Amino acid sequence: MKGSDAHDLIAAAREVRRHARAEFSNFKVGAALETADGTIVTGCNVENATYGLTVCAERVAMFSAIAAGHRTFRRIAIVCEPHEPTPPCGACRQILWEFAGDIEVILASLRRETGRHQLADLLPQPFDKRNL
């Protein structure tokens, strides 16, 4: 899917959120990652009874994009039900940083946009290949 503005990205995240498998937490999340060429790759959270095997929407989107051959990214939209901004978890911040760098992170609820951040603001002093 090709997109051009934040509304398209948020709409894609809202749409994929419907497919989330969140039987344990009931916390459904959708993510839409925009590649450098404008392609939108989506992902939703998929829970597992052990919780440790659960995968967040942001990581599903990133891994799907990588599997499709994408290597550079512009921004990601993350949609969940609360009306308050809900930023990505620590694991997702780390994955986003390693594969996308300091991209824009757009947060939204089912009804409205709730915030915009640069990933560096959400993950100060990241661990990456410079630390190895």
Q: Is 84 a catalytic residue?
A: no
Separation CA 29–CA 18 (nearest Å):
8
CA–CA distance, 97 with 41 (Å, rounded to integer): 17
Strands (E), the chain: 29-35, 40-44, 73-80, 104-108, 113-118
Choose the catalytic residue: 23, 34, 58, 81.
58
CA 121 to centroid of chain Cα atoms: 16
In single-letter form, the type of residue at position 25 comes to: S
**Rounded Cα–Cα distance for residues 4 and 66 (Å):** 20
Active-site residues, by number, are 58
